[in-house]
Amino acid sequence: MDAPAHAPAYVPAHDLLADRTAVITAAAGAGIGGATARRFLEEGARVVIGDAHAVRTKQSVAALAEEFGPDRIDGIPCDVTDTARINALFDLAEQRHGHLDIVVNNAGLGGTAELTEMTDAQWDKVVDVTLNGTFRSTREALRRLRAAGREGVIVNNASVLGWRAQAGQAHYAAAKAGVMALTRCAALEAAPHGIRVNAVSPSLALHPHLAKVTSPGLLEELTAREAFGRHAEPWEIANVIVFLASGYSSYMTGETVSVSSQHA
């Protein structure tokens, strides 16, 4: 029997993040970051988003504020290659809500290029956003959580390409493998302070931006690798991020959780 190719029903909220303050990078729009911001708000959190796209950030904050109230959502443009902008994002969260509880490092940048044709600039840009940006944000989160003496949670967005090979993705795969290693090392350093660091590793979560920059042929090929015969919805990845940010994962740290139905 063929696997179902339809998404399941949207999962109702259970107040898992009530009264917690979260910072989420690359969270404007319809991708995993935007879905995570919405799920966090549905679960009772206060959310501050950052995104490199200023107009999209403003629009996302306005839309979520209308639905969830202006006191629970805010955001500013944030380029994760700029330490000062990352610091400003964390400053906003602390100014608005007094403290920080959760950080989701969602920012990442892809692209396709054969290794022999890849330029230094292409390599550097993908690594700087995807790996170095996660490093910068994780470093700042740990500094602030430790200084405040607060237990907290960091969730990084990795990828199945951190484990598996795909032609044309050397820069992105290397960066995501680095995110996994960073997650493990940061977790050991953070554990004595009651701070947990984990990651999710999605395969194919389709959203309008990804569809715009990916050829139909490649999307069809990637979908064929999924056991369910369909791509993930961004909110399905966000659900696992909620789990890792909540008390239900209290004994997990340094782990990368695959959110994928790819064939073994």
Ranking 2-6, 34-38, 40-44, 86-90 by mean pLDDT, the lowest is: 2-6
CATH number at 19-257: 3.40.50.720
DSSP state of 191: G
CA separation for the pair 92, 165 (Å, rounded): 39
CA separation for the pair 115, 122 (Å, rounded): 10
pLDDT at 262: 77
Model confidence, pTM: 0.92
Q: Write down the catalytic residue from 10, 172, 248, 251.
A: 172
Which of residues 220 and 181 earns the better pLDDT score? 181
Mean pLDDT (the chain) is 92
pLDDT single digits (tens) 244-257: 999 999 999 999 99
pLDDT at 211: 46
Domain boundaries, the chain: 19-257
pLDDT over 70 at 49, yes or no: yes
pLDDT over 80 at 84, yes or no: yes
pLDDT over 70 at 77, yes or no: yes
pLDDT at 1: 37
**Sign of the torsion angle spanned by Cα atoms 108, 111, 114, 118:** negative
248 tagged catalytic: no
> pLDDT category, 210, cuts 50, 70, 90?
low
CA separation for the pair 163, 158 (Å, rounded): 10
DSSP state of 226: B
